[in-house]
Amino acid sequence: MITELEHVGVAVNKIDEALQVFENILGLKLERTRTVEEQKLKIAFLKVGQTKIELLEPTDKESTVAKFLEKRGEGIHHIAFRVTGIEDMLQRLKAGGIILIDEKPRKGVECSKIAFLHPKSTKNVLIELCEP
């Protein structure tokens, strides 16, 4: 079951430049940055109420975010929902015709379990499910 909006992922070429807008102009507070080698990403987390903005900067031109940037440019990459019972939810979604990128949850950066739904079956929106 979806319980809340967890975060919005925004693909950027350079986190430092994006922070000029999100932190200095909009006034959001940077919580922390983190490099995730296995995903070839540098990530910055900004808090907005109970939700976060997740800035995604590729650290390798072969990463999925680098390919996204090359194809679409900077902007919203995905939306993430906090869920309970992620395994059951994935089974129900698949049975309902949703294409899963992740058949089984994997370890996430913020949440202990994550899984992505293919945008082809969600009106061109990459959706991440997160279970703490």
Determine the pLDDT at residue 71: 97
For residue 52, the tally of other CB atoms under 10 A from its CB is 20
| CA proximity to 56, closest of 110, 18, 20 | 18
Mean pLDDT within 6-18: 98
For residue 101, the tally of other CB atoms under 10 A from its CB is 13
Residues 87-105: tens digit of each pLDDT: 999 999 999 999 999 999 9
* pLDDT surpassing 90 at residue 111: no
Per-residue pLDDT band for 110 (boundaries 50, 70, 90) equals confident
Q: Are 6 and 14 in contact (CB under 8 A)?
A: no
* CATH code for the part of the protein at 2-131: 3.10.180.10
Residues 48-69: tens digit of each pLDDT: 999 999 999 999 999 999 999 9
Mean pLDDT within 104-130: 95
Give the neighbor-by-neighbor strand order of the sheet with 51-58: 29-36, 41-48, 51-58, 2-11, 75-83, 127-131, 113-117
* pLDDT surpassing 90 at residue 6: yes
pLDDT mean across residues, the chain = 97
Gap between the Cα atoms of 116 and 86, Å rounded: 11
pTM confidence score: 0.95
For residue 83, the tally of other CB atoms under 10 A from its CB is 24
For residue 131, the tally of other CB atoms under 10 A from its CB is 20
Sequence spans of domains, the chain: 2-131
Q: Are 56 and 12 in contact (CB under 8 A)?
A: yes
Percent of the chain's residues with pLDDT above 70: 100
